[in-house]
Amino acid sequence: MERRKGGIAIALVMGAVLVGASACGAGGGTDKANGGDAKAPVKPSSSASPTPTKPAGPPMLLETITPQTGATVGVAMPISVIFTNPVAAGARATVEKHLKVSASQPVAGAWHWMGEKRADWRPKDFWPSGTKVRIDADMKDVGNGNGRYGVRSYTHTFTVGDDVRADVSVTGHTMKVTRDNQLVRTLSINAGSAEYPTWNGTMAVIDKEKTVHMTSCSVGISCDKGSPNYYDLTLPWDVHLTQSGTYVHYSTGDPAPGSGSARGSHGCVHLSMSDAEWFYNQVKQGDPVTVTGSPRAKASADNGYAAFNLGWDQWLAGSASGEQTTATL
């Protein structure tokens, strides 16, 4: 089963989630987020001597910054900034210069624009474990190229935790889980069917929930209760991989996954009940889950947090200011 659900964005002040449907589906991902941090536009003060002023207009606001302040995340977690309004291409280099990333262990990285409203920063390679990171978004008086100007600054701090990774072999029906490069456990899995294959590539964990309501209708698989592809289930131990609805979880329709059962999902990765609970308790937001052997392409970089599905040259092609090294905390 697969659920298409929101949940990749953390609000600047309160929690916010991406809105989507709930089910194991084959759709792509686009980034939408709720919540906001609206402020009144700043008015220039009067003066006896004329001074340059910005054009009057509504404020440029940041809707979300992820990770949330205080979070401990995995080594594949990007920093994701979502604006409430489009940022013009000509303004992006200036905006990027006001999005300062600092780290306790300096690393090379870059911003990449996922459309007009979302910019993600990732290191060239995975974060080193134990790195402390700060993002300072000093948007005051910064223009978005569309008549809006920032009115305040934002700061988020987070820590990169243990290096936990999961490598899924679709053809081998296995998931190998490592911690700090040491194999912890090999689990039996089933991935997507030929009709509904699982995304290939590396997907950082978006979030996880103990139970998720999954329906085939919500992702356009089938709304016909008589269809063999119809389902309406609440399933346990759900680790969320893509906005389009890929999960690692337990399924009542596939209780003993592995090469012997050879049952395919609608795109999710199925584990046994005990393995699903164990895996749920091992992983955190930002831990990389890498799928190989599926006939499907890699998930797009904006389908959740799949930044590492782009090569470094591809990532830089979406940056306005290019590669940079983090400031030192």
Catalytic site positions: 249, 268
- DSSP 8-state class, residue 89: G
d(CA 23, CA 245): 6
Classify 275 as helix, strand or coil.
helix
Beta-bridged to residue 153, according to DSSP, are 138
3-class state of residue 28 by DSSP: coil
d(CA 232, CA 252): 11
Sign of the dihedral through C-alpha 269, 270, 275, 279: positive
**Contacts for 6 with CB less than 8 Å, ≥ 6 apart:** 17, 18, 19, 20, 32, 33, 34, 243
CA–CA dist 324, 327 (Å, integer)? 9
42 C-beta neighbours (distance < 10 Å), count: 15
C-alpha dihedral sign at 39, 41, 45, 50:
positive
Q: Enumerate the H helices of the chain as residue ranges.
A: 92-97, 273-282, 312-317
Q: Which residue has the tokens 């009067």?
A: 46
> Cα 210 from chain centroid?
19
